[in-house]
Amino acid sequence: MRPAVGDARSFVLPWAMDCGITKQTDGRDAYYTIRWSPIAKANKFDIRAKVPAMGGVAELYFKDDHGKLNLYMLARSYYGGLRATLRVATDPEEEKDERRRAVLLAHEGEIYYRYALMESQDDMTDIVYFFLTTYSPKADIPHSNRYERIFVKELDEGHLVTV
């Protein structure tokens, strides 16, 4: 059956809804499972056509001279959705942060992204906290204060796991 005009499913690729984040809790512990979208080369037209305008988290990578993907940005998006966030974050004319803009200019044509959908701002905060404190243990990053411990498991068809 074809989705009705205006139905959110009509604007989202079938696999996109499988790219999400689930959570289980046990007392004061939270266990998140992130099912990432396939990693894709950043292209403003593809982002506009393929990325849902829904909340979630995204990672941006640049490919270095050795062909290795290097994470340079972790983003969360609620208002405006991932589509708008990724469009700005992958366009050097739109990106306001000078460090990230420099990465975009230095690696033009070699920027990649992946994302996972999520509706809860508090859960996004906890996931960003987990990743940022994992990458930089001394970072002073807030979390939602709902859980004592936060655990994250990543699932990615391309086997790109960052933690």
Return the domain boundaries, the chain.
36-155
Cα–Cα distance, 63 to 65 (Å, whole number): 7
- pLDDT tens figures, 23-70: 999 999 999 999 999 999 999 999 999 999 999 999 999 999 999 999
Between CA 39 and CA 46, with CA 42 as vertex, the angle to 5 degrees is: 95
- pLDDT tens figures, 74-125: 999 988 899 999 999 999 999 999 999 999 999 999 999 999 999 999 999 9
pLDDT at site 130: 95
When pLDDT is averaged across residues 132-137 and rounded to a whole number, the result is: 87
